[in-house]
Amino acid sequence: MASVAAIVVAAGRGTRAGGGVPKQFRPLAGRPMLARAVEPFLAHPGVGPVVVVVAAGEEDRAREALGGQARRVALVRGGATRQESVRAGLERLAAAPPERVLIHDAARPLVPRVVVDRVLDALDRHPGACPALPVVDSLRTGNGTLTGEVPREGLWRVQTPQGFRFAELLAAHRRAAPGATDDAAVARAAGLTVALVPGDERAMKVTTEADFHLAEALAGGLTVTGTGFDVHRFGPGDHLWLCGVRIPHDAGLVGHSDADVALHALTDALLGAIGAGDIGVHFPPSEPQWRGAASYRFLAHAARLVAERGGRIVHADVTVIAEAPRLGPHRAAMTARVAEILADHRPLVSVKATTTEGLGFTGRREGIAAQAVATVRLPI
């Protein structure tokens, strides 16, 4: 597969969408627009380096907006125009050039993966590709009253990401005259053919307050819930693992991995929410490589699967059922560790503990059980 990089342009200063800050930093259904705009490229298995171009002095605000994503992107200082900002991103990639590059506007925070796939597929046959939607409304000219008609046949509403063969686009930008409104215009001015591929209404551009409200409704997506339950018995040892935290105890938990019953339950909850089976499907206990494995790897894997489907984990709730050890002194650390593992999603995390009042196998201190509920928001 050809190497692919993405450039997300977020150097604008526009505030017409409201909120009092550049729109790319404004929260959209609980997450900054910039984080949403970057996510499809970080989650796409065919995309490698991701460059985010920001205005001078906005680097810290961009890192805050990106959260856990910040460590996976390269921040580049942009120019006074979009054209200059794209050029800055291209030059950053030139030291180790990819074969192809995707250029995307942070003002389009909801692009679905299918659009990215269409653009990449078109680059197998064309030097450039651009998603677009046909104009369906009637077009008229006038100034207070109608004066004429404009045929809509052959008219398109152009979107991003736009894709190109990297070397050709960089050369086109280096010799381009100023004033281009997008990279398709730069490419065409250089004599490159740019194919049209079907766009998507969800890849809308957020410019005004009305656009913002529409995008927020689209961003809500579908909310789904998954549940998980797991049990491990006590065995020899002087500590056990719960929620990724090592807790001293006069017994350990027995399992093929580190037997972190709480993370196992939460992993199953996430997998259940997206219909991806259970932990045993992804990490079979019959495979020696998982013997003694740290269970945070299982949870991180489930979180990546959610992201690859364009989803976001919004809430994770774990209840540990045990007579001992006492978990009150460790609850804050357990909550923080789960939040750290799921940092890219920024979920609300809750960790609780209860007993069975001496009843059942947990009451007899034969082992520990855990149950978990995960709430995931998926794109429609």
CA 13, CA 15: separation in Å to the nearest integer? 7
Q: Which pLDDT does position 165 carry in this prediction?
A: 97
Hey, is 123 helix, strand or coil?
coil
Check residue 178 and report its DSSP letter.
S
Q: Residue 194 is encoded by which pair of tokens?
A: 């740019």
Q: Where are the alpha helices (DSSP H) in 103-208?
A: 113-122, 166-174, 183-189
In this prediction, residue 346 carries a pLDDT of 87
Shortest CA distance to 49 belongs to which of 94, 116, 4, 99?
4
Residue 228 C-alpha from the chain's centroid = 23
At residue 15, the pLDDT reads 53
Dump the DSSP string for 283-303.
S-TTSGGGTT--THHHHHHHH
Mean pLDDT of the region 319-326: 96
Of 235, 160, 225, 219, whose CA–CA distance to 194 is shortest? 160
Q: Specify the range with the lowest mean pLDDT, choosing from 137-146, 184-193, 328-337.
A: 137-146
Q: Is the pLDDT assigned to residue 198 strictly greater than 90?
A: yes
Task: Pinpoint the residues of the chain covered by CATH 3.90.550.10.
Answer: 4-219
Q: How confident is the model at residue 332 (pLDDT cuts 50, 70, 90)?
A: very high
Domain 222-378: CATH superfamily is: 2-C-methyl-D-erythritol 2,4-cyclodiphosphate synthase (3.30.1330.50)
Q: What is the pLDDT of residue 218?
A: 82
Question: Residues of the chain with pLDDT > 90: what percent?
Answer: 86
pLDDT greater than 70 at residue 102: yes
pLDDT per residue over 134-175, tens digit each? 999 999 999 889 999 999 999 999 999 999 999 999 999 999
309 pLDDT band, cuts 50/70/90, is confident
| pLDDT tens track for 57-72 | 999 999 999 999 999 9
Residues forming CATH 3.30.1330.50 domain(s) in the chain: 222-378
CA 341 – CA 347 distance, rounded (Å)? 10
Q: Residue 90 — pLDDT band, cuts 50, 70, 90? A: very high
Q: Residue 272 pLDDT > 70, yes or no?
A: yes
Three-state DSSP state, 1: coil
**Mean pLDDT of the 49-54 span:** 97
Q: Output the pLDDT for position 220.
A: 72
What fold is seen in the domain 4-219? Spore Coat Polysaccharide Biosynthesis Protein SpsA; Chain A (3.90.550)
pLDDT at 279 over 80: yes
